[in-house]
Amino acid sequence: MSLSTDAVRAAPAATATAPPAPVEERMGARRWCILAVLCTAQFMAALDFSIVSVALPTIGEDLGFELSSLQWVITAFALPSGGFLLLFSRAGDLYGRRKWFLVGLVLFTVTSLAGGLAQEPTLLLVARVGQGLATAMIVPTGMALLTTSFPEGPLRNKALGINGALLSLGFTVGVILGGVITQSLNWRWTMFINVPVGILSVVLTLLLVAESRNAEKGSLDIPGAVTVSGGLLAVIYGVTSADRDGWGDPVVLGSLAAGVLLLVAFVAVESRSASPLIPLRVLTRRTVGWGNFAGLVTFSMITSVVFLMTMHMHQVMAYNPLQIGLCFAALGGAMIVAGPLVPRLVRRWGPGATLATGLAVQAAGTLLLLLLGTHGGLTMLLVGTGVAGWGHMMAVVSYTIAGTSGLPDTLQGAASGLATTAQLVGLTIGTPVIGAVATGRIASMEGSAGVREATVSGVHLGLVVIAAVVAVGVLTSALMLRGPQAAPVAAGQDA
């Protein structure tokens, strides 16, 4: 009896000393505003990657580009945007992420205005190089500011989900807007549209976003910057040139070989550097390495789907640029809806399982497009691209979360730089590779089949290759990112 009474008397005391349940942190109005500013700026940069693609023929006629040189409007942007990402990411870590983000915004705004006013090819190409450099500043520092502004967990996952949706959507919306603007206004407005957005982004960044930099007094790793930037530039130049000159061209092969050698040298340099551009504990981290490989796969292959469907709609369905752009609404819409929902799946399944599932869905949507024939097919095109877009967004959000989780703020710039490098390199290299596969099949059928039949055959072969590459991403994600994720890394700790 006394034992029972003592237990009853002790119960309130035990209850009183129990720790209170943790209160889940909320976004709040200020954080929503910060997220909007950072996402809008990065969306604008991603948008400009593709917004001129539909307008290329019009640009060529207006400014007098030779047909063989027209692709440089895309390449002039792609080279610096992919080649200098890691350099500016590290510069942001050392000298201030907000500072470099603002420099990128100002440069992007000025060069967009210059591009819209260009009256000759050289001036437009210089402006596109400036836009690419600005993108290499904006995207990694913007993502690093985002990850340092939101604590790891549900809040950061939500922010990364929205950011990933808008970054990937930027490419698709660029295709749609490019067609609408070129058809209804003038190609120059594909450049001018960035000016008011850029000015507003500068003002709001100054008002809302706090400066963020690493505490250590490191120095910029010049040998690392030279080798990684040179390697990425050489690889991107080789791949994009192959679309024009062929994969057997000596310059193409030399560029690719030089790029691989420089990237190998970069790893060797980083292993000996006192202040590395990318610490080896980040490079060798399982979630970073395999997560970014999956990011490279999903971005390179979704842009290839967009390229093949553009070819199909132009050659087989005889659509104009406006119609082609609007037909990608299903792809963009699926990304918009999926982006905010994916963090919930990541919380339930983990980033690895969500990533593998997303890539599997992307492959399934790609295979659905094999049902397109020489007549009709609009419904199947919308369904297939929509399914592929949903899976792609699952992959984008989960690979970004995997690649930036478990790392301290001092390593977020490096991790964000790698994640955005995978994205922009993927956007650059996918189309030339898959385009060569498709156009090679089409060329082999010249004389033995009509234009529609040859195009459908080439598109189908390209889709099969895309699905196979994405399937590799499914397997690597399922095998290498399964189970518990790598343990958190503290600043200065080796992985």
Q: Which amino acid is at 389?
A: G
Phi, psi dihedral angles at 222 (to 5 degrees) = -65, -50
Greater confidence (175 vs 368) lies with 368
**10 Å Cβ neighbour count for 234?**
22
* Contact predicate 296/422, CB 8 Å: yes
Whether pLDDT at 446 is above 80: no
Please give the pLDDT value at position 16: 44
Band of residue 13 on the pLDDT scale cut at 50, 70, 90: very low
Indicate the SS3 state at residue 239: helix
- Asked whether residue 14 carries a pLDDT value surpassing 60, the answer given is no
419 contacts 143 by C-beta, under 8 angstroms: yes
Nearest to 142 by CA among 99, 107, 196: 99
Q: What is the pLDDT of residue 2?
A: 44
Residue-level pLDDT at 495? 43
What pLDDT sits at residue 180?
77
- Say how far apart CA 495 and CA 474 lie, in whole Å: 25
Question: What's the CA dihedral at 403, 404, 406, 408 to 10 degrees?
Answer: 140
Average of per-residue pLDDT across 58-72: 75
Burial 205-224 (b: 16+ CB within 10 A, else e): beebbeebbbeeeeeebebb
Least confident stretch, 10-24, 48-62, 283-297, 321-335:
10-24
Q: Which pLDDT band holds residue 379 (cuts at 50, 70, 90)? A: very high
Q: What share of the chain is helix, strand, coil (3-state, %, to 5)?
A: 80, 0, 20
- pLDDT > 70 fraction of the chain, expressed in percent and rounded: 88
In order, the DSSP letters of 28-77 are HHHHHHHHHHHHHHHHHHHHHHHTTTTTHHHHHHHHT--GGGTTHHHHHH
User: pTM of the predicted model, to two decimals?
Assistant: 0.76
**Maximum alpha-carbon separation in the chain:** 101
* Cα gap 167→39, rounded to integer Å: 8
Q: What is the pLDDT of residue 198?
A: 92
Q: Six-digit token pair at 168?
A: 């990937």
* pLDDT exceeds 80 at position 77: yes
pLDDT in tens, 196-230: 999 999 999 999 888 877 766 667 778 888 898 88
pLDDT of residue 116: 92
Kindly list the distances between the CA atom of residue 292 and the CA atoms of 16, 123, 141, 179, in Å, as whole numbers in the listed order: 47, 35, 17, 31
Taking 90 as the threshold, does the pLDDT of residue 371 lie above it?
Answer: yes
Region 136-165: mean pLDDT is 80
Range of weakest confidence among 289-298, 364-373, 424-433: 424-433
Cα gap 8→19, rounded to integer Å: 20
For range 127-146, the mean pLDDT: 89
Q: What percent of the chain has pLDDT over 90?
A: 26
Residue 15 predicted with pLDDT over 70: no
Contact between residue 306 and residue 331 where contact means Cβ atoms under 8 Å apart: yes
Name the 3-class secondary structure at 449. strand
Looking at residue 432, its pLDDT comes to 79
In 3D, which of 144, 165, 130, 170 has the Cα closest to residue 43?
Answer: 170
The answer to whether 445 and 310 are in contact (CB under 8 A) is no
Q: Which among 91, 74, 169 is positioned nearest to 417, based on CA atoms?
A: 91
Q: Please compute the mean of the pLDDT values over residues 73-83 and round it to a whole number.
A: 81
Does residue 117 or residue 186 have the better pLDDT? Answer: 117
The CA distance from 417 to 147, in Å, is 12
**Tens digit of pLDDT for each residue in 88-136?**
888 888 888 899 999 999 999 999 999 999 998 899 999 999 999 999 8
The owner of tokens 């397109």 is 372
Per-residue pLDDT band for 483 (boundaries 50, 70, 90) equals: low
Which one has a higher pLDDT value, 422 or 115?
115
Q: What is the mean pLDDT of the chain?
A: 82
Bigger pLDDT: 362 or 75?
A: 362
Among 2-6, 310-314, 465-469, name the one with the lowest average pLDDT. Answer: 2-6
More confident residue, 366 or 238: 366
What token pair was written down for 160? 């990364």
Q: What is the DSSP annotation of 252-301?
A: HHHHHHHHHHHHHHHHHHHHH-SS-SS-HHHHT-HHHHHHHHHHHHHHHH
Q: What is the pLDDT of residue 354?
A: 93
End-to-end, the C-alpha distance of the chain in Å comes to: 57
- Is the pLDDT reported for residue 82 higher than 80? no
pLDDT at 294: 93
CA geometry: angle 34, 39, 43, nearest 5 deg: 155
Contacts of residue 5, defined as CB under 8 A and 6 or more positions apart, other chains included, come to none
* Residue 23 predicted with pLDDT over 60: no
Residue with the larger pLDDT of the pair 303 and 117: 117
Characterise 376 by phi-psi region: left (phi > 0), alpha (psi -120 to 50), beta (else): left
pLDDT given at position 201: 92
Question: Which residue type sits at 105?
Answer: L
Q: What is the predicted pLDDT for the residue at 19?
A: 47
Q: Decide: helix, strand or coil at residue 123.
A: helix
* Residue 220 near residue 92, CB atoms below 8 Å: no
CB 216 within 8 A of CB 413: no
Cβ–Cβ contacts within 10 Å for residue 325, how many? 25
pLDDT, residue 387, reads 96
> What mean pLDDT is predicted for residues 277-287?
78
Of the spans 36-40, 90-94, 163-167, 296-300, which averages the highest pLDDT? 296-300
Most confident of 168-177, 272-281, 359-368, 390-399: 359-368
